[in-house]
Structure formats: structure tokens, C-alpha cells
Amino acid sequence: MIIVYAIGLALAFYVAWCLGANDAANPTDCAVGSGVITLRRAVLLFAIFVAIGALLQDFMVMKTIDRGIVPRIDVLGAFTTILAVSIWVTFCTWKGMPISTTHSIIGGVIGYGLLTYGVHGLEWGIILMVLVSIAVTPILSIALALGLYPVFKAFFGKISGRLSARSVEKLIKYMLIAALCFSAYAFGANDIANATGLFVTVTKELGGIPDYSAMILLAALGSIGIAFGGLTWGRRVILTGARRVTRLTPLTGLSAEFSNAIVIFLFTTIPFILFGWGFPISTTYSSIGAIIGVGLIRGMGGVDRAIVTKIAASWILTIPLVALMSAALYGLVSIFL
């Protein structure tokens, strides 16, 4: 089991790499797409603030992934779930499709849980909330982006009489970079759990490490993997959100990025304050929803419906496909161990 655990942690690091490669787009696509910052600088800022968010707040979501859907995940289950997720996320990243790593992980846990605990052994209340979030997250981001855009437009229009056009333009750019950093922080707080949250219990049991210490160690491991993923392969998916969904300007990018960050931060923080566990949402759905929202300002023609349809199809397939892969891998590996 120690060997399986070590291999599982290596896979968790790989999933963190996949997470960075696929989801680095979420905090960076607006700033890159609107031409405010280069892709490389955006990813460097992403890596720094993801690590800060992970170390300060990711414990809020990590135990939800580890013990929320099933009573307990054993070492073998964590290993096969992570393997199934890594296969799916790698494939989608290669195709340039921004998918939900959160829902990939949840699909994997569901597949493992159905095989191990049966239908009645799963926490269907939490699963139902996750399924509701699939619809609610992008809709909320769309609505918030549509609401923030006229507010920002009015604000910058008001100060344009006191500042030069160049100064206003610089202010918008600096605010968009700040939104990128805030969004990356919120991403780190919510999404590191996708790569390492499955290993909280087994790390505690095998190493005799307290829960919180285990979460901090795993968050550090995940943040390093995410940084590598964003820096090495993040370009593929970043350019999909930045340029293919709609044409972004600094002002629409600012509205979309702040909307994305606010939605992620609230879902991470408020449920933890109220119930003691953070809600793992799809930062991808939030990001793409916000970009669609600002695209709709120009009407339906402002959004590329073909690429949005492809993205939506990959979202719908994620949970059932990863659940099936996870269950199949667990059943297969169990035969030999």
C-alpha cells in the first residue's frame, strides 16, 4: 500500500500538472485575450497567486473532496480515481477544450463509490448540489459579468473627464491584472483540492500526520504541479478562452475576470463559514460563463456558438465518462492487489 500511495501521489502531482495545463486559462484568458499582458507573464502571476490561495484557503474545500461524497477513500481508490482523471484531462487539454477538473474528480469519486459502497453509500445530497452547480455557476457568472460591465463603463466614463485617455486605459489594464491575481488566488483556494484532496485521509493514516498539516503539505505539492502545468502546456486552453469564444477588450475582460473571481471566492468561503466545508465548483464553467456574458453585450453574434457547443458537450460528458473509467480501473486493479 505504501508503494501504491507513492505512485498515487506521483499521479496527484501529474493531475496538478494537468490542472495547470487546462485551468490556467480560467484566471488568465481575459487579460491575455484583451492584449493587456503577455501569456508568459500572465501564467507566472497565475502560478504565484494560485500557490498563495492554496496555502491559505484550500483546506476549506479539500476535506469536501476527500470525505464529502463517500465515507472514506482507500489508497487504491485514490490511485485509480486520480488515474482516470489524469487520462481524461490530458486528452481534453490536448484537444484545447477547457473542461472542469472539479467535475472530473467528482465523477471519479462517484465511480469508485458506486463500486465500493453501492448506490446507497454515496452522499447524494452533495452530489445533487454539485450537479446543480453545473448549471448555476456559468449562469451566475454570465449574469454578474453582464451586470458589472455597465458599472465599470459608467465608472471609467465618469473619471475620463478628470484623467487623460491614456491614464484611464492604464488604470483599466492595472485593474485587469489585479483581477487576474484575485482570480488566481480564488482558483488556488478552490481547485488544488482536485489534485490532492483524495489523499488527505490516507496521508493522515499512513504518516500519522494531523488533518491540517496533511492538507498544507498536499496543497504545496499541488501548487507546484499546477505552476508547471500552466507554464508548459497552458497555452493550448488559454487561447481557446482568450480568443475563440468572443473578442475581448480590456473593459470586457475586466468585467469577466472580476465576475469569475467573485463567484469562485464566494463558493469557497461562504459555505465554509456557514457549514464548515467549502463548495468545490468548476472554475472553468465560471470563467467561460463570464466570457460568454461579456460576449452577449454585443448580442448573440458576439459569441462563437460552434466553439461554445463543443465546450458544452465536453462538460456534459465529463462526469459519466470519468465515473465509468474510475470504476473500471478500480475493479481491474483490485483483481491483482
Would you state the pLDDT for residue 154?
A: 94
Distance CA 337, CA 325 (A): 18
Per mean pLDDT, which of 37-41, 159-163, 288-292 is the most reliable?
288-292
DSSP H or E run through 72: none
What b/e string do you get for 64-76 counting C-beta neighbours within 10 Å, with b at 16 or more? bbbbbbbeebbbb
Would you state the pLDDT for residue 318?
A: 93
Q: Please say whether the beta carbons of 105 and 12 come within 8 A.
A: no
Domain ranges of the chain: 2-336
Would you state the pLDDT for residue 234?
A: 79
Average pLDDT over residues 24-44: 86
Q: Tell me which amino acid residue 94 is.
A: W
φ/ψ region of 210 (left if φ > 0, alpha if ψ in -120 to 50, else beta) reads: beta
Q: Please say whether the beta carbons of 289 and 133 come within 8 A.
A: no
Residues 6+ apart with CB under 8 A from 309: none
Is the CA virtual torsion 157, 163, 165, 169 positive or negative?
A: negative
Is 56's pLDDT higher than 90?
Answer: no
Average pLDDT over residues 6-27: 80
Provide the 3-class DSSP secondary structure of residue 40.
helix
Average pLDDT over residues 34-61: 83
Is 63's pLDDT higher than 60?
Answer: no
Would you state the pLDDT for residue 126?
A: 77
DSSP 255-302: HHHHHHHHHHHHHHHHHHHHHSS-----HHHHHHHHHHHHHGGG-GGG
Distance CA 252, CA 277 (A): 33
pLDDT tens by residue, 143-180: 999 999 999 999 999 998 888 989 999 999 999 999 99
Share of the chain above pLDDT 70, in %: 87
Is 207's pLDDT higher than 70?
Answer: no
- pTM across the whole model: 0.81
Q: How confident is the model at residue 87 (pLDDT cuts 50, 70, 90)?
A: very high
pLDDT tens by residue, 263-289: 999 988 888 888 777 777 788 889 999
Neighbouring C-beta atoms of residue 332, cutoff 10 Å: 10
Would you state the pLDDT for residue 121?
A: 84
pLDDT tens by residue, 91-120: 998 888 888 887 888 899 899 999 999 988
Would you state the pLDDT for residue 167?
A: 94
In this structure, what C-alpha cell is assigned to residue 29?
484568458
Neighbouring C-beta atoms of residue 129, cutoff 10 Å: 16
Would you state the pLDDT for residue 213?
A: 67
Q: How confident is the model at residue 16 (pLDDT cuts 50, 70, 90)?
A: confident
